[in-house]
Amino acid sequence: MAREPRLPPEPWNEQRKSLLHNWELPIFAGKYVVEWIVYYLGRWGLLRILEYSSFLSVMFAVLVYFNEAPDRKKQKHYQAWQVINTAQGKGGSGGRIEALQELNADKIPLVGVDVSRAFLREVRLPNAMLMRSDFEGADLRDCVLEGSRMDSSNLQSANFRSGNLKRVRMMDSDLESADLFEADLTGADLSRTNLKNVDLRHANLKGLVWAGIVSVEAANIYGVKSPPSGFVEWALQHGAVSNKDDE
């Protein structure tokens, strides 16, 4: 805060010399009186105190704002969980896409979340903690779950069509009748999963971890891309099919 010393107005006789017309005299006189009022107010200590008080009040408001930031974040998380829990078991989105993304962006674990039968198309939850979650019958087409952990989850009949499932962990999960058509499963871990009746057509299986898969009965592996060595042969020997259509 910079302060310049306020000088008194020039004497009346000096200022009057600048007048060009007599009709300007009342206006000039009023201006001269105002200049003196401003000068004396500027020297009044109380006004200076009020000026500094307003500055300090702004500083105090800023400090309070930052001090209450954690509480505001907690309230935001509480409202997001309310949206998710209130809509459990219901179809549609119901604001759950935004709520899930908001919580995940703040690195809040989503362990055990129940979004069965929810419409979550294009949801973006990279590196999410989704262990023991329930996505049964959920619509997750074009989703981004790259690097997420979905171990021990119920993913039956979930629709992951064209989803980004790179490096996702689904160990010990149930994917029966799930739709993984054209999904990108690069580096995904499907150890000990149930892939019965899963649609894997044209899915990218590069670097897939498939040790101990429980079942691939009736799983459709037509056109899978970059499958790990021995996977296709093993799958066909254990009941998988390779059909162009989804019948």
pLDDT for 237 equals: 97
Regarding whether 126 and 22 lie in a shared domain, the answer is no
Q: Identify the burial level of 206 via C-beta atoms within 10 angstroms of its C-beta, where 0-12 means exposed, 13-18 middle and 19 or more buried.
A: middle
- What tens digit of pLDDT does each residue of 151-195 get? 999 999 999 999 999 999 999 999 999 999 999 999 999 999 999
pLDDT for 4 equals: 63
Regarding whether 94 and 31 lie in a shared domain, the answer is no
pLDDT for 140 equals: 97
Helix (H, G, I), strand (E, B) or coil at 47: helix
Between CA 230 and CA 80 the distance in angstroms is 44
Judge whether 6 lies within some domain. no
Judge whether 4 lies within some domain. no
Please determine, for residue 74, whether its predicted confidence score (pLDDT) is greater than 90: no
Please determine, for residue 57, whether its predicted confidence score (pLDDT) is greater than 90: no
pLDDT for 149 equals: 98
Query: What does the pLDDT average to over 83-106?
Result: 91
- What tens digit of pLDDT does each residue of 27-52 get? 778 887 888 787 777 666 666 777 77
Say if pTM beats, i.e. exceeds, 0.85.
no
Please determine, for residue 11, whether its predicted confidence score (pLDDT) is greater than 70: yes
Please determine, for residue 104, whether its predicted confidence score (pLDDT) is greater than 60: yes
Structure tokens at 128: 């999410």
Regarding whether 208 and 147 lie in a shared domain, the answer is yes
The residue among 24, 39, 67 that closes a domain is 67
| 138 vs 44, more confident | 138
Q: Identify the burial level of 176 via C-beta atoms within 10 angstroms of its C-beta, where 0-12 means exposed, 13-18 middle and 19 or more buried.
A: buried
CA dist 67 to 60, 61, 63, 108, Å?
10, 10, 6, 21
pLDDT for 5 equals: 65
What CATH number has the domain bearing residue 242?
Answer: 2.160.20.80
Judge whether 25 lies within some domain. yes
Please determine, for residue 144, whether its predicted confidence score (pLDDT) is greater than 70: yes
- What tens digit of pLDDT does each residue of 201-241 get? 999 999 999 999 999 999 999 999 999 999 999 999 999 99
What's the total number of domains in the chain? 2
What 8-state DSSP symbol labels residue 206? T
In the chain, how long is the greatest CA-to-CA distance? 112
Please determine, for residue 71, whether its predicted confidence score (pLDDT) is greater than 90: no
Between CA 116 and CA 126 the distance in angstroms is 19
What is the Cβ-side half-sphere exposure of residue 236, based on CA atoms within 13 angstroms?
9
pLDDT, mean over the chain = 89
Helix 69-86 × helix 96-105 angle, to 10°? 140
What 8-state DSSP symbol labels residue 24? G
- For residue 56, the enclosing domain spans 12-67
Regarding whether 80 and 63 lie in a shared domain, the answer is no
Regarding whether 32 and 116 lie in a shared domain, the answer is no
Rg (the chain; Cα; Å) = 35
pLDDT for 34 equals: 84
Between CA 245 and CA 230 the distance in angstroms is 23
Between CA 133 and CA 22 the distance in angstroms is 89
